[in-house]
Amino acid sequence: MTTKDKIRIVKGDISSTEVDAVVNAANNHLWMGAGVAGALKRRGGQKIEDEAVKKGPIPVGDAVETGAGALPARYVIHAAVMGQNLKTDEELIRKATRNTLKRAESLGVTSVAFPALGTGVGGFPLKQCAEVMLKEVIRHPGSFEVIFVLYSEESFNTFKAVYDSL
């Protein structure tokens, strides 16, 4: 599978995306509050957070999976992109993306949907996030499809522009 075949960028709601695994932009204690986590919890149910919290805390930059509750996915991969200070940086986004891809591979998925990690509550710049995440996905040897599901027009346009420039 070529890089071009492996990556798709779409505008939409990640909680309604039909894939094997959806990625939650998590804190390292795996509580699910606002943003992507809140959307996944609202649609998928409290049991996603209950299962996640039992697996935490985890190191920032790491990732763990849970069931997906009522989501149209089999798994939620919780990528701990920030600690309790709710701050992130380029290296943490890189590590969380890489560890999420490894987790997806170990689960044997054929498709995984990512949000823009760390750009909501974490406040990380969108363009820089797109550069880091897309480069990690391109480097990863996995053969599964990676779909970036961006909620806002700005996020979608930024990821598309960065992808087209790579």
CATH tag for 3-165 (out of 3.40.50.150, 1.10.10.10, 3.40.220.10, 3.50.50.100): 3.40.220.10
Q: What is the pTM of this model?
A: 0.96
- The pLDDT tens digits of the residues spanning 122-148 come to 999 999 999 999 999 999 988 899 999
Q: Which two tokens stand for residue 53?
A: 């919290």
List the chain domain ranges. Answer: 3-165
- Give which of 13, 32, 19, 25 is closest to 97, Cα–Cα: 25
Per-residue pLDDT, averaged over 3-23, amounts to 92
Strands (E), the chain: 7-11, 21-27, 63-67, 75-82, 111-114, 145-150
